[in-house]
Each structure stands twice: as C-alpha cells, then as structure tokens.
Amino acid sequence: MKADEPTKVIQVLDDRAAQVWTKGSGEAFVCDRKSTAGSVTQRACAFCGSRVVLYPIADALHIVHGPIGCAVYNWDIRGSLSSGSQLHRNSFSTDLAEKEVIFGGEKKLEASLLELIEYYKPKAAFVYSTCIVGLIGDDVQAICRKVSKKTNIDCIPVDSPGFKGTKKTGYQAACEAAYKLVGTGDTSGISKYSINLMGEFNIGGEAWMIREYYERIGIEVVATITGDGRVDDLRRCHGAALNLVQCSGSMTHLAQLLEEEHGIPLKRVSFFGFEDTAQALYTAAEHFGDPELMCKAEELVRDEIAKYTPKIKAYRKELKGKKAALYVGGAFKAFSLVLALRALGMKTVLAGTQTGNAEDYKQLQDICDPGTVIVDDSNPLELAKFVLEKEVDLFIGGVKERPIAFKLGVAFCDHNHERKIPLAGFEGMLHFADEVAKSVLSPIWKFAPRHELRALKINTQIADTESP
Ligand code: SF4
C-alpha cells in the first residue's frame, strides 16, 4: 500500500454475501453449500474428515493410502487419549510416489498391510483413500478383502479421496467404515439402561469424565465412539439402548444407521457448560423413565455445580462485558459455547461453523444476541474483518483460526481437537473459565497491534477484494 493510498475495509465476496448474516437484519441466510471459488475456506478435505473421526480407535491400524504429505497433514492432530493401546498415534502411509501413480499402488498397499498386521497385530485396520488413489483407481476394496482373508483381521476401506467433498463428506465415509464392525460382537450382559456416547473424542480425557457421570447415576456406557475407542466396543455397540450424539456433524450418520437397522433411538446432547452437561444427564435419565435414575442425576448435578460455582463466579466478575468470536467445526459446539460464554458474563459477537446445516443455524440464530454476526464456511479475511469491526477480546476456534487471532493481537482459546485440556463436563467448565480468563486478561495484549489496526482499519494490500 502506498502511504497516501486511502485505507479500505475488507469486503465480503458477493457470492458469499448470503452466508454472512447479522441478527436483527431481517435478511435471508444461506448455508450447507459448496465453498465459493476464490474464498480460502477454513474447511478441511474429505480425507481429513474421515481420519479425525476414526483416529481415536486406539487398537486399530490406521493406514493412509496416498502420498506421504496426506498422512503428515493430520498425524496425531487430536488430543484424544487412550487408556490402553497407543497404536492409533502412529502415522502409517503407503507413501505413493511417481512409480505407483503410473503403475498403480495396489501391490504396495497389500505388502504394507501384511507387514504392519504381522508386526503390530491390530484388532482391525482402516485404509484411507486419498485424492491420488481416487484418480489412479486402485481397487482398495479388493486389496482389503484379500488381506482380511489372509490375516483374519478386518481390513476396512475408508472411501475418502480428498476431492470427494468437504470434511463433512469424510465424516460420512468414516461412519460407513465404522459401521462395518457394528453388529459383529456379543451383546450379552449389557444393561437395559445403557448408552453409546457418540461424537465424544476423549480430548484431554473428557470421555472418562462423562462416562463416570453416567456410571454414577446407574447408566452403562457400552462404547464411546470414537474417543478411547476399541474395535470390540464398536462390534457390540448395537446392544446399547440409547445413542447420545454429541458431535452431530461427525456422528449423526452412524447414529441414524444404528437407529434404522438396530432400532436404537438417538438424542443430541452436549457436554460443554453446566447447563448442557446437566441436560445431557437428564436426557438419558428421562429416556429410561426410571425415577431413581433421575433422582441420582439431579443429585449429581447439584453436587457438581455447588463444587465449581464459587470459582466460576470469581471469573465472571473479571470477564463481565468482554466480547468473544467463535468459529468451530460443528454447530452443536457453537450453541454450547454461546451459553458457556454467557455464563461467564461474556457476549458472543461473531459465531460461525464450517459444517452447520439450516436447522443448526436456526438454533444458533435463536440463542445469539441481536447484532451478532453469523457466518457459514468463512475464510480468514472475513473472520479478521469481523474480529476487528466487533472489537473482539477473545477468539475461540481451532488450529487454523489461531494465527488469525494472534496476528490481530487478540486472545485465543483452542476449543478444537488439538487441545490437551478437558473442557467438557462440570469440571471442564472450570478449565474453560480459567483458559478464557488467562487468555483475555493477559497483560500481553497491551502491547499488541490491534488498537493501531483498528484506527487504521485494515491494510489495503490484504484487504482490497475489489482489485482484479
Ligand atoms: S486434499 Fe487430497 S492431497 Fe490434499 S490432504 Fe486431502 S487427500 Fe491428501
């Protein structure tokens, strides 16, 4: 930008205008569509979507059939903990190169699978297809069938070439793959009060905390899918009486398959914040209709809230009036975050998701305050624009949003799968409040350039979307 050039504000691309909405504007809102050309979407590829969903199945072998870059791109990116096997934390790849692109990668895949199964003795193997495999047309299914027969280990193809769609398409491919194991295990001895926790990935040990809540009130958790996941749990999860789906984007398809083919009802829940965690416990107790379960749930909620409320109140005092922006993968997390921030006295001024659908956004619009900007499938420029315009004090997102916040001199809180701290459940709310307070109230922001940036509006060099 030349010194005398006037500063311009970032514009939203015309083709994206309907995916950006302000509460109270009365305008129509559009979502759930392909990313606009020219907009650098925050969405990941289909392969990444499938990998992050299945990755926490700890005693399975996960092999990425493709160039090494695909495997590195999402190696060990979830903070999912395992109470046993750590096999999932390895990143195996067939490392396809020029030779296989020309002559095919089937032989390499077969040899890799045989060697890895012999060495690691996994309970099952997931084979992820990447873009290049979709292009050269390797028959991954046939190789999986052949190796399964030779080794007696289920080798399951995951149909996830990156170009197949968005991260959401990958979620679907992961659900289809996981479903191949369902129904193959013994369900005897499962309690009539039993659940599967679906879309719970045991980040920082969250699944263990939630499992303990349910066990305290007398409900058996048959499988957490996929946090601290085990192949044998998946095989018998069709024996549970109820599916509780937390991350709706990633797991609704699997829950629907279980409902259609095994008659297991599904309910959407969330474990972020006091309100939602309590409601998730009541939802299960109410479903089973046993007054004793409900009594125990109420007692647990009372005890847990009493334990953490004084500390939360102290944080609330310090955080009151601060403004937050959030951009997350799924919509359910966004609802919970708006409520959790409100409980801390903070206001959400920008909320968005990568994969929300119309129903999700309707709910998000309802719970947000007037004036809140809601964005679907956003990009770094738009997010930067609203973070500055709305004078945000805290940005909540994942690894791709972190640099946006830090470059603008805004506090950041990781609420995605890369984090190591448990933020779910009652105790998690305290960790969340602590994280938020430490980030927002840090003295470092006094030295950040965001105030100057606000004064200058935004550098035309990165901002001038009107330029050809
Ligand atoms: S887009 Fe294709 S090449 Fe890129 S990481 Fe995804 S699967 Fe690999």
Do 245 and 286 fall within a single domain?
Answer: yes
Nearest CA to ligand 1 atom 1: 162
Residue 46 alpha carbon, nearest atom of ligand 1? 6
Mean pLDDT in the chain? 91
Does the beta carbon of 47 sit less than 6 angstroms from any atom of ligand 1?
Answer: yes
User: C-alpha distances in angstroms, 376 versus 18, 61, 368?
Assistant: 9, 35, 15
pLDDT(453) > 80: no
Higher pLDDT pick, 6 / 148: 148
Write down which residue in 282, 302, 322 finishes a domain.
302
Cα separation, 387 vs 255, whole angstroms? 36
pLDDT average, residue stretch 358-375: 92
Q: What pLDDT score does 73 carry?
A: 80
Whether pTM exceeds 0.75: yes
Range of the domain at 110: 46-179
Does the beta carbon of 130 sit less than 6 angstroms from any atom of ligand 1?
Answer: yes
Confidence grade of residue 456 (pLDDT, cut at 50, 70, 90): low
Residue 160 alpha carbon, nearest atom of ligand 1? 7
Residue 355 near residue 44 (C-beta atoms within 8 A): no
468: in domain? no
Using the mean position of ligand 1's atoms as its centre, give its distance from the Cα of residue 178 in Å: 21
Do 324 and 458 fall within a single domain?
Answer: yes
102: in domain? yes
Q: What is the pLDDT of residues 378-428, one digit of tens each?
A: 999 999 999 989 999 999 998 889 999 998 999 999 988 778 899 999 999
119: in domain? yes
Q: What pLDDT score does 449 carry?
A: 67
35: in domain? no
Does the beta carbon of 70 sit less than 6 angstroms from any atom of ligand 1?
Answer: yes
Write down which residue in 285, 302, 319 finishes a domain.
302
Write down which residue in 126, 156, 179 finishes a domain.
179
Using the mean position of ligand 1's atoms as its centre, give its distance from the Cα of residue 158 in Å: 14
CATH number of the domain bearing residue 99: 3.40.50.1980
The identity of residue 137, as a single letter, is: G
Do 296 and 203 fall within a single domain?
Answer: yes
Do 161 and 60 fall within a single domain?
Answer: yes
Nearest CA to ligand 1 atom 8: 70
Nearest CA to ligand 1 atom 3: 131
Do 318 and 444 fall within a single domain?
Answer: yes
CA angle 349, 354, 355 (to 5 degrees): 120
Q: What is the pLDDT of residues 228-248, one digit of tens each?
A: 999 999 999 999 999 999 976
Q: Which two tokens stand for residue 169?
A: 């398409």
Q: What pLDDT score does 372 carry?
A: 96
pLDDT(315) > 60: yes
Does the beta carbon of 128 sit less than 6 angstroms from any atom of ligand 1?
Answer: no
Does the beta carbon of 96 sit less than 6 angstroms from any atom of ligand 1?
Answer: no
5: in domain? no
pLDDT average, residue stretch 153-161: 98
Report the domain count for the chain: 3
Does the beta carbon of 162 sit less than 6 angstroms from any atom of ligand 1?
Answer: yes
